[in-house]
């Protein structure tokens, strides 16, 4: 679904189950994946499963990806109450580190469509 949502931004797709190939020299990381909440799933079961996923993702990013993107925070639970906070996020492009707003030069997208996409992602995945 994410690939279909942003084809104009997509440069390449690499299909692999090897972290060192998938993340090698990655410039931007947008991690949307987690175990989806299904009807009847207790929150503690969901959190336990997601902690494993996020720890693995974090360790792999630290080991293989470039150190150019940091400080992106998602506030709230897995619902429309989530808020992606990029106010302190930094992106390093062409050797220059800058704030996300300055680097993307598209405040309206970051304050609108991006927030909506994050807030509706869980529902879209469950429906898919």
Number of domains forming the structure of the chain: 1
Q: What is the pLDDT of residue 11?
A: 75
* Residue 105: CATH number of its domain: 3.40.50
Query: In 3-state terms, what secondary structure has residue 83?
Result: strand
CA distance linking residue 126 with residue 124, whole number of Å: 6
Q: Quick check: 59 pLDDT over 80?
A: yes
Q: Give dist(CA 12, CA 72) in Å, integer.
A: 23
Q: Looking at the DSSP assignment, which residues form a beta bridge with residue 84?
A: 74
Pick 10 or 102 by higher pLDDT: 102
Where in the sequence is the domain holding 89, given as residue range(s)? 2-127
Catalytic residues: 78
**Which residue stretches of 1-128 are H helix?**
2-5, 19-22, 43-64, 100-104, 107-111, 113-127
pLDDT digits (tens, 9 = 90+) for 78-116: 667 778 888 888 887 888 888 888 888 888 998 999 888
Q: Residue 61 has which token pair?
A: 């990013």
């Amino acid at each position: 679904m994410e690939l279909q949502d942003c084809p104009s931004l997509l440069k390449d797709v690499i299909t692999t189950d090897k972290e060192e190939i998938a993340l090698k020299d990655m410039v931007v990381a947008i991690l949307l994946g987690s175990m989806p909440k299904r009807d009847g799933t207790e929150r503690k079961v969901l959190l336990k499963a997601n902690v494993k996923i996020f720890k693995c993702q974090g360790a792999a990013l630290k080991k293989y990806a470039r150190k150019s993107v940091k400080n992106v925070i998602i506030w709230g639970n897995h619902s429309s109450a989530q808020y992606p906070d990029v106010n302190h996020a930094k992106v390093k492009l062409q050797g220059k580190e800058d704030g996300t707003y300055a680097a993307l030069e598209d405040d309206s997208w970051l304050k609108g469509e991006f927030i909506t996409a994050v807030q509706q992602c869980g529902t879209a995945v469950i429906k898919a």
